Amino acid sequence: MFEMIEGGVTSAEGFEAAGGAAGIKKNGSADMALIYCKKPCIVAGTFTSNQVKAAPVKWDRALVKEGREARAIVVNSGIANACTGKEGMDACAKTADAAAQALGIDASSVLVASTGVIGSQIPVDKITAGVNKLAGELGDTIEKGTEAAKAIMTTDRVHKEIAVNMTFSDGSMATLGGCTKGSGMIHPNMCTMLCFLTTDASISRDMLQKALSSVVPDTFNMVSVDGDTSTNDTCLLLSDGLAGNPEITAEDSDDYRTFTEALRFCAESLGKKMAKDGEGATCLFECDVIHADTKEHAKKLARSVVSSTLTKAAIAGHDANWGRILCALGYCGVDFDPEQVTLTLESSAGRLVIYENGSGTGYSEEKATEILSQDEIHAICDMHMGDFDASAWGCDLTHEYVNINADYRS
């Protein structure tokens, strides 16, 4: 059992954070965050599937794979530290050394993450100065967590954070919280953003990684803004065990299920926040595929619809062009009978069946436009094939997306 609470990355016991400006961004806005844990944490992670991987991804993957304990995460926005060769890896090491000295911890326990322009070298002097500054400003308040969430934004318009309390079978409680950044270059697989999750639940390393790996495919991997998978995608989940609940060590336990359900809720909520905040977007566009013949086919179909450029453009124009949705279903590689499909549009303005039995339904265009003019829109695709469902999240495609990305480096 779990319930949502106010908070983010500092909500779990033992975690602190800070955020501020280190001078990396040209406009002088906040561009660096530090997350710190008072005791060593076990850590789980998932990373980009892009063959071009940024230096921080390589650094963090090694730490997770080797099973090292973590004490801190240093994050910068503005520069991705991707395609930067040996100098980029050296920057990761120097960042970890600076954090180790400032916090009195081992450099091997420092994770690093970056987001921003690909190809530029990290200004290590600004990063190390930023680490020293933020180390003296750490705090465990909700406001400090929000400060960190805001500092990792790039083209994001809003910061993204969440927290929940979990109640385990013996009545003990634990907290899970976190933050993400992500607005553009968002597409499966993997993770399509930076995400930092923290928990005080006592759980084994194997179960922590298993929980994260089981949740990501149906949450973060079902988000698409623009069809581009980043070089820097990183999702890290840290646990310090300070809640004092009986350690979760078995996948078939009620407590593991509670933890996984809470983690899934947080990941899905953060994923939706990213989709709704897509570059230039005016709405969240969700596709729910129901009654597919397999789970994998349901996921393929849903992802295809939210990734379709033409469908996204139609949503931006509040145009119920159901042919584009049907077309996107048809080219994703799943066999189905188009005449058996039912397409429905839904939002806070109502629900409308627009296609069934092989043709349009003669629906009201005025009502369809009203439904598509809301800030959260659902397309429901009933395949009438089986018992499997899946949801994917995206956004509309507007002129502003081009404006943002035409001069991203400026």
Which residues are part of the catalytic machinery? 192
Per-residue DSSP letters for 243-291?
T-PPPB--TTSHHHHHHHHHHHHHHHHHHHHHHHT-TT--SEEEEEEEE
Q: Tell me the residue type at 348.
A: S
Give the chain's radius of gyration (CA, Å). 22
Tokens of 191: 């993770």
What sign does the CA torsion over 64, 90, 116, 131 have?
A: positive
Asked whether 34 and 70 are in contact (CB, 8 A), the reply is no
Q: What is the DSSP letter of 118?
A: T
Closest to 303 (Cα-Cα) out of 281, 325, 318:
325
Residue with tokens 């100065």: 129
Closest to 109 (Cα-Cα) out of 75, 55, 69:
69
Cβ contacts of 332 within 8 Å, gap of 6 or more: 300, 301, 303, 304
Helix axes 322-330, 309-316, angle to 10 degrees: 160
- CA distance readout (Å), 142 to 14, 149, 273, 304, 406: 13, 11, 19, 38, 36
Asked whether 183 and 280 are in contact (CB, 8 A), the reply is no
Q: Is 363 left (phi over 0), alpha (psi -120 to 50) or beta?
A: beta
Cβ contacts of 329 within 8 Å, gap of 6 or more: 301, 304, 305, 336, 338, 341, 381
What sign does the CA torsion over 61, 270, 262, 292 have?
A: negative
Cβ neighbours around 137 below 10 Å, total: 14
Burial class (CB in 10 A: 0-12, 13-18, 19+), 327: middle
